[in-house]
Amino acid sequence: MLYIGIDLGGTNIAAGIVDENGKILRQGSVPTLAERPIEEIVDDMAKLCLHLIEEEGLSMDQIESVGLGCPGTVDNANGVIAYANNLKMENTPMRKLLEAYFPGKRINLENDANAAAYGEYIVNGGGAKSFVFITLGTGVGGGIIIDGKLYRGFNGAGAELGHMTLISGGEPCTCGKPGCWEAYASVTALIRQTKAAMAAHPESSMNKWTEENGKVSGRTAFECSKAGDKAAKAVVDNYVKYVADGLVSIVNIFQPERISIGGGISKEGEYLFGPVRELVRKYDYNKYMPKTKISAATLFNDAGIIGAALSK
């Protein structure tokens, strides 16, 4: 059987037809235009999927289920998106809305970070008994897989790994709590840290880089550090420490068999992960048993489609 996975983001709706091994047979995307009424967005989501099914030459009988990954608080038990800020959803009866387009199909609703975690697990998890997925993006998201199943907490709202405390009473976080990991290890935070260093070090090549590239990004400090800039290296070193210190918490809590790290910044590869891994090893409470394997995620945007399609 085949599975439809939809990744509903603030900018784009991506969808794909996925087989049971996590292979995407066909995929496409359309703009979300998030300001619209949700019924119109759902209509575009469904039409995208129906178009993919037609393009692939499939009949609806070959589709087992339809899964949606979506930001915010997802109440799959009741078929409802409890809340999604960017998409103006509150208590939205998403299962009912989708059932109108896919009569008789099982409709599964999942938090987008959980869906991406499950996608990475299916394709790259190697059957790990415990697996944690982190995205270092605009925010810091996460997903937890234990014994092959997503761990969501008793109310479905768990795995908000970006909202662990990293510095009690520290930088404000968008969630309202000061000092979250997200407020230090997200790309948003890295840009803030980069800008502060640029202001403090007018001589740093980060200022020139920014002039040439139009704006400060998550790459600014990394690229200038690689080119030998001292202030940029200090930014990267500090960012590495923040990423590692949150990962140590995850390791000491879960001792997961694998941690996979995605999001834009994961493209920095070993320049980031080498020193991160070293710090995690140093501070891991476990000194005697086998160690968690930490690696970069590989699926990028596909993870959300695959996970939405296959998570249960």
Q: Which residues contact a copy of itself (rule: CB under 8 A)? A: 73, 75, 82-83, 128-130, 144, 146, 151-161, 163-170, 175-177, 179, 184, 241-242, 245-246, 248-249, 252-257, 282-283, 285-292
β pairing state of 73-75 and 80-84? antiparallel
Q: Is the CB of 255 or the CB of 301 nearer to a copy of itself?
A: 255
Burial of 48 (C-beta count, 10 Å sphere; 0-12/13-18/19+): buried
The radius of gyration computed from the CA coordinates of the chain, to the nearest angstrom, equals: 20
β pairing state of 106-111 and 149-150? unpaired
Contacts of 137 (CB under 8 A, 6+ apart): 186, 187, 262, 263, 264, 265
Helix (H, G, I), strand (E, B) or coil at 283: helix
Q: How far is the CB of 293 from a copy of itself (least distance, A)?
A: 10
Quick one: DSSP state of residue 189? Answer: H
> Among 162, 184, 166, 147, which Cα is nearest to 261's?
162
5 has which bridge partners?
16, 67
The count of residues in the chain is 312
Q: Is the CB of 18 or the CB of 144 nearer to a copy of itself?
A: 144
Q: How far is the CB of 278 from a copy of itself (least distance, A)?
A: 14
Q: Is the CB of 26 or the CB of 281 nearer to a copy of itself?
A: 281
Q: How far is the CB of 93 from a copy of itself (least distance, A)?
A: 15
Q: How far is the CB of 50 from a copy of itself (least distance, A)?
A: 31
Q: Is the CB of 64 or the CB of 75 nearer to a copy of itself?
A: 75
The residue type of 31 is: P
Q: How far is the CB of 11 from a copy of itself (least distance, A)?
A: 23
Q: Rounded to an integer, what distance in angstroms lies between the CA atom of residue 53 and that of residue 105?
A: 14
Contacts of 35 (CB under 8 A, 6+ apart): 88
Dihedral in degrees, nearest 10, Cα atoms 262, 268, 269, 272: -100
Q: Is the CB of 86 or the CB of 213 nearer to a copy of itself?
A: 86
Q: Is the CB of 59 or the CB of 168 nearer to a copy of itself?
A: 168
Q: How far is the CB of 307 from a copy of itself (least distance, A)?
A: 19
Q: How far is the CB of 77 from a copy of itself (least distance, A)?
A: 10
Helix (H, G, I), strand (E, B) or coil at 205: helix
Q: Is the CB of 103 or the CB of 176 nearer to a copy of itself?
A: 176
Q: How far is the CB of 243 from a copy of itself (least distance, A)?
A: 10
Q: Is the CB of 170 or the CB of 275 nearer to a copy of itself?
A: 170
Asked whether the beta carbons of 258 and 131 are under 8 A apart, the reply is yes
